[in-house]
Structure 1
Amino acid sequence: MRHIDDAERRARLARRHGLADGFPDVVAATRAMTVLHATEAATVHLSLWARVPGVAVADVEAALYDERAIVKQLAMRRTLFVFPRDLLPAAWGSAAARVAGQQRQQLAKWVVQASISAAPDEWIDTVTADVLAAMADGTARTTRELRALVPELDGRFTHGAPDKKWSGEFPIGAWVMTTLGAEGRVVRGANAGHWRLNKPTWVRTDRWVGDAGEPWPGDEGYAELVRRWLTTFGPGTETDIVWWLGATKGIVRRALVDVGAVEVSLDGGGVGWVLPDDVEPAPAVEPWAALLPTLDPTVMGWKERGFYLDGADVPFLFDRNGNAGNTAWWDGRVVGCWVQDDAGVVRVLLRHDLPAEATAALDLEAERLTTWLDGVRIVNVYASPQMKGAALS
């Protein structure tokens, strides 16, 4: 069994994630990363800024909304991602289908709880058919605009205990549209607001991407997702893949067999997996600096993160659910985070003493990002404890 130590894993990360050399364009970067996280709208643009030299906001918007070469899709772990268009059918038949089933089950509960209908499945079928009919002209519409066309979307349900800050009364329409999105029948079209905010419009999938292909059989879809994950993140452990995929061990183990994955040993005694044509040693890279956004795909690619992250830093840089805030990287390791001041100037907050070469490189990245943002301030839902502490100081 070949051994891949932590240093080689970091070298692989640097090259395959475009953090040492970069990618030529938005689509190439997205394909190389398998998917981009899109739960926070700004993450997509900032993840691409970190990987595509000279990229502009307009380049990202064009790939998403004009060329539609990359498409937003709810999938693994009920998370919103940006997919390369050709990967959508694999996701629709596997990870997205799994989420869609969960979404529909929860939606049915809300329908009954709110006394909207005592026959939730029939209600969902009728309303979704009405929504798709209203969207037949291909016009991109917000959920609010769709509620005007399909009044049933305006039904309300109560969620959460009264003493919880996130509890309240919510329109059922948001759940209907999210379920349709997970099923691959509608997609998020052009954003109705600023690029840093999630204000999606909805479009029927067939009107947005045309004939993208039928959903793959589940096993084939999972195998393709795991194959691409291994290309981007390998070696990784079974635990990493189960977590990232939001699936069961049984699903992951079958997918590993289907792609012919090969076992390798890792530092610390663990076992990882790589594709059969990916066992050759990866050469070292020169030291590099990067500033990555909240929920960046590099940071969120593994559950077992010890090869690039000091365990003592986790409570400062991640929330309790394992969601990463902004991170600062030097030579393959997370060394702190970055924040913006009231004027939009980016500052790096280090958690470790670094050589002058490293601090100079990170300061240069901060200047470069400040210039690129040009006064736009990013507000993060998933800000890390260290980021929140900086905001209060």
Structure 2
Amino acid sequence: MTEAASSVVGLHSARIPSAFFSAHARVVDFAPSDLYDALYASHQLFKLRCMRGTLHIVPLAFAPVVHAATLRARLGPSKAALRYLGIKPRHLARAKDRLIEALSDGPKSPKFLCAYLAGYETTAARTIIKYLWENGTLCYVNTSETWEGESRKFALTRTQYPSLCLNAMSETSATAALVMSHISAFGPVSVEDVVWWCGMSKRRVMDVISQAKSDLTYLTVPGIGDSLLLSTKHVDSLRDRSALAEPWVRVLAHEDPSLKGYFSTRNRYASARTAARLFNAIGEARASVVVNGRVVALWSWDRQARHARPQFIGSASATCHRMVVQECERVAERFRHREIFHQQCSTSA
């Protein structure tokens, strides 16, 4: 599980099912319980808001990188909301102490925590909780018994993940690590791809690139772009075409990292016509099926019939059609049961 999350610098998880489908596309013999266990039993993974302010699941050791690199951007709106509500630092400190007390015996629901902050209106209480989640005092826990569902709780990060120190890195060091990780995982990429995915200014990204010239190779990929960035250590692997010998198919999740990792070079996997259907009105990548590196279909999960239903974009050969249908059937078989059998963390109200 950690290798799968690391290979794409985190699994997008704003929608609950997305991380499960993304993991299935990358982990042999994946079962939904594997992801829950890695999050809440073995604590190999950690879920937090980071790049572009969206939820990702990352390896525990990489959590300080994405946290520190994106913290300033994420805390800004929360601080503004606290000021607007008249919540001063001394009020926040007292509320934090109250929440630490409430969470001393395990995770609690937002409703419980809001009620515990007696004297604060619901909006103010939620704003305080969100701020403490953003700064790393609190962490997200899902105690649902189904892989499709959410029973949101918050826990103390230091209790739930005792080996984790989210504030172990400076913003500068974390930014460099995040930018280079994206180039390593997704290269060859354009500067615009990196800026988009990291959710940072072009200046911050270019500062990192300019200081890492010896570790980067610039190249041109016909039909995709010029001056693309690739980690120098991956140049030889790019020349190896043996991995492309056999046809392959993957069923990708909504906002799957393999699609979300690019912006200006999305033509590598989708034509303009395909992209018009692949991305929705707010720029989210719909759930799709990729054959030999190109998007050939969208798909949806039928929660009642427990089936993955493909919808082809344009014409498809008989071989391509068969591959897509068979892979959708394999996905349906793996996710047919709603329940998760896993060792859950202790929970309270």
Tell me which interval the TM-score lies in, with the shorter structure as reference length: 0.7 to 0.9
Percent identity (aligned): 21
TM-score (norm 1): 0.78
Note the C-alpha offset of 1:266: 3.0
CA distance in 2 between counterparts of 1:266 and 1:235 reads 8
> Which residue matches 2:278?
317
Aligned to 2:111: 144
Distance 2:89 2:221 in 1: 48
Partner Cα distance (2:151, 2:239) in 1: 41
The alpha-carbon deviation at position 326 of structure 1 amounts to 0.9
2-structure distance, mates of 1:296, 1:88: 19
Match in the other structure for 2:347: none
Deviations 1:166-221 (A, max 9, x none): xxxxx343333232222112111243453213332111111111132333111100
Name the structure 2 match of 1:351: 313
Out of 152, 161, 164, the residue aligned to residue 212 of structure 1 is 164
* 1:249 and 2:210 matched: no
Distance in 1 between residues matched to 2:228 and 2:119, nearest whole Å: 49
**Scaled by the length of structure 2, what TM-score is found?**
0.87
Question: Is contact 2:143–2:150 with CA below 8 Å preserved after alignment?
Answer: yes
The aligned counterpart of 1:282 is 239
Give yes or no for contact 1:91–1:225 (8 Å, CA) kept in 2: yes
- Distance change (3 Å), C-alpha of 1:334 and 1:172: farther
RMSD value, Cα: 2.1
Contact 2:287 2:299 in 1 (8 A): yes
Name the CA distance, whole Å, in 2 between partners of 1:227 and 1:291: 27
Q: 1:252 to 1:129 in 2, by over 3 A?
A: farther
Amino acid at match of 2:95: V
Alignment-derived partner of residue 331 in structure 1 = 292
Cα distance, 1:307–1:350 mapped onto 2, change above 3 Å = same
Shift of residue 125 of structure 1? 3.9
Distance 1:262 1:108, change over 3 A: farther
The match for 1:388 is none
Change (3 A) 1:104 1:194: farther
Alignment match, 1:92: 67
What are structure 2's unaligned runs of at least 5 residues? 340-349
Counterparts of 1:74 and 1:95, CA distance in 2: 9
Q: Which residue of 2 aligns with 1:173?
A: 125
Distance 1:120 1:265 in 2: 53
2:234 partner SS: coil
| 1:120, distance to aligned residue in structure 2 (A) | 4.3
> What is the deviation of 1:249?
0.8
User: What 5-or-longer segments of structure 1 have no aligned partner?
Assistant: 1-25, 112-116, 157-170, 378-393
Q: Distance in 2 between matches of 1:106 and 1:271?
A: 41
Note the 1:98-113 alignment, pairs <5 A. Answer: 98-109=73-84, 111=85
Quote how far apart the aligned CAs of 1:237 are. Answer: 0.9
With over 3 angstroms needed to count, the CA separation of the structure-2 counterparts of 1:106 and 1:314, relative to structure 1, is: farther
Contact in 1 for aligned 2:32/2:335 (Cα 8 Å): no
Distance verdict in 2 for CA 1:172–1:334, change over 3 Å:
farther
Corresponding residue of 1:134:
102
Aligned CA distance change for structure 1 residues 152 and 253 (closer, same or farther; 3 Å): farther
1:88 is paired with a residue of what secondary structure?
helix
Q: State the shift of 1:314 in Å.
A: 2.5
Letter in 1 for 2:194: I
Kindly provide the CA deviation profile for residues 139-190 of structure 1, in whole angstroms up to 9, marking residues without a partner as x.
Answer: 111111212322255x24xxxxxxxxxxxxxx34333323222211211124
- 8 Å CA contact 1:74–1:96 kept in 2: the answer is no
| Paired letter, 1:331 | N
Supply the distance in 2 between the matched residues of 1:78 and 1:106 (Cα, whole angstroms).
Answer: 16
Which residue in 2 is equivalent to 1:365?
327
SS in 2 for 1:329: strand
Aligned to 1:238: 191
Inter-CA distance 294–97: structure 2 relative to 1 (3 Å threshold): same
**Distance of 1:190 and 1:138 partners within structure 2:** 16
- Say if 2:247 and 2:292, in contact at 8 Å, map to a contact too: yes
Asked if the contact 2:50/2:71 (under 8 Å) is kept, the reply is: yes
1:319 to 1:143, Cα distance in 2 relative to 1, 3 A: same
Establish whether residue 29 from structure 1 lines up as the match of residue 8 from structure 2: no
What per-residue deviation string (whole Å, max 9, x for no partner) do you get for residues 7-59 of structure 1? xxxxxxxxxxxxxxxxxxx1221111210101011111111111112111111
Alpha-carbon distance in structure 2 between the residues aligned to 1:188 and 1:322? 26
